[in-house]
């Protein structure tokens, strides 16, 4: 294998979900691809590296700082939805049901992997909840939308402990049955959650 190909394979194989085999397949695909397409891919990668950064307010990925979501006047600045990753912002925003602002943590607490509070964008979040300079309205509610996993729950519980003393309402997204799902095929742990979180009609 010639050197540029070998180098590309090495880089591709570092990507999540891609191993040596898939990396090699992708590399040879690109060798055969039209030159224009390969150049465009390279340019997209360069743009990613040079132009994408984190919003200084919500820590989501953006080209402009602050990001379009943080500056959108139609979005309610008094409600902040806290998520683990930029992909989670996309997932929640696609529905269009949430019209507040976001905050991206970029990780979940995990002492097992040595990830502590300092590795999450918590200081930035607390800054948004603080007294501020009087120009922005105070935050009324923080919605904790981390996954219902061991790590996601721990992170939500930790944030709740930090935020509640500030007098801000803290809520947690519900867990339970998927809409359109069938009860019969739902695992017992999920059913137990759904029962525990039942609502009065």
Partner 1 sequence: MRILALRVRDVRNLEPLELEPAPRFNVFHGDNGQGKTNLLETIYVVAALRSFRTSKLADLLRFDTQVAHIGARVERGGLERVYELTIEPRSRRARIDGKVVRPLARYFGEFNVVLFAPEDLQLPRGAPADRRRFLDRAVFNRRGDFMPLAQDLDRVLRSRNALLREIGDGRKPLRTAGTLLDVYDEQFAQLAATVTSARLAYLDELRPRFAAAFEAIARMGIAVDLRYVGPDEVVAAGPEARAAALQARLVATRPQDIARGATSVGPHRDDVVFEFGGRDGGAFASQGQLRALVLAWKTAELDLLTEIHGEPPILLLDDVSSELDPQRNRYLFDFLAQRRSQCFITTTHPRHVLVADERVDHEVREGKII
The residue ranges that bind partner 1 (CB under 8 A) are 109-112, 114, 116-117, 150, 153-154, 157-158, 161-162, 185, 187-189, 192
∠ CA 65-69-71, nearest 5°, is 65
Residue 76 or 119 with smaller CB distance to partner 1: 119
Cα separation, 63 vs 52, in Å, equals 5
CB of 189 to partner 1, least distance (A): 5
DSSP-assigned letters across all residues of 48-98: HHHH-EE-TTT--EESSSS-HHHH-TTSEEEEEEEESSHHHHHHHHHH---
CB of 112 to partner 1, least distance (A): 5
Residue 5 or 162 with smaller CB distance to partner 1: 162
∠ CA 145-149-150, nearest 5°, is 115
Residue 42 or 189 with smaller CB distance to partner 1: 189
CB of 116 to partner 1, least distance (A): 7
The reply to whether omega before 57 is within 30° of 0 (cis) is no
Residue 79 or 142 with smaller CB distance to partner 1: 142
Cα separation, 41 vs 185, in Å, equals 42
CB of 129 to partner 1, least distance (A): 16
CB of 154 to partner 1, least distance (A): 6
Contact present, 109 and 150 (Cβ < 8 Å): no
Residue 63 or 113 with smaller CB distance to partner 1: 113
Tokens of 128: 């948004």
Residue 61 or 162 with smaller CB distance to partner 1: 162
CB of 59 to partner 1, least distance (A): 20
Contact present, 191 and 178 (Cβ < 8 Å): no
Cα separation, 162 vs 137, in Å, equals 20
């Amino acid at each position: 294998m010639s050197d540029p190909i070998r180098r590309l394979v090495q880089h591709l194989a570092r990507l999540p979900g891609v191993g040596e085999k898939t990396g090699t397949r992708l590399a040879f695909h690109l060798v055969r691809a039209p030159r224009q397409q390969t150049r465009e891919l390279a340019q997209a990668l360069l743009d990613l590296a040079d132009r994408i950064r984190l919003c200084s307010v919500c820590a989501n990925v953006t080209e402009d700082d602050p990001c379009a979501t943080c500056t959108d006047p139609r979005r309610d600045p008094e409600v902040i939805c806290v998520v683990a990753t930029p992909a989670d912002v996309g997932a929640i925003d696609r529905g269009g049901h949430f019209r507040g602002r976001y905050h991206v943590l970029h990780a979940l607490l995990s002492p097992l992997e040595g990830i502590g509070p300092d590795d999450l964008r918590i200081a930035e979040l607390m800054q948004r909840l603080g007294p501020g300079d009087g120009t922005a309205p105070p935050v009324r509610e923080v919605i904790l939308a981390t996954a219902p996993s061991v790590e996601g729950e721990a992170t939500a519980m930790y944030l709740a402990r930090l935020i509640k003393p500030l007098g801000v309402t803290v809520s947690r997204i519900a867990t339970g049955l998927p809409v359109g799902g069938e009860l019969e095929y739902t695992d017992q742990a999920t059913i137990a959650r759904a029962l525990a979180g039942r609502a009065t009609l």
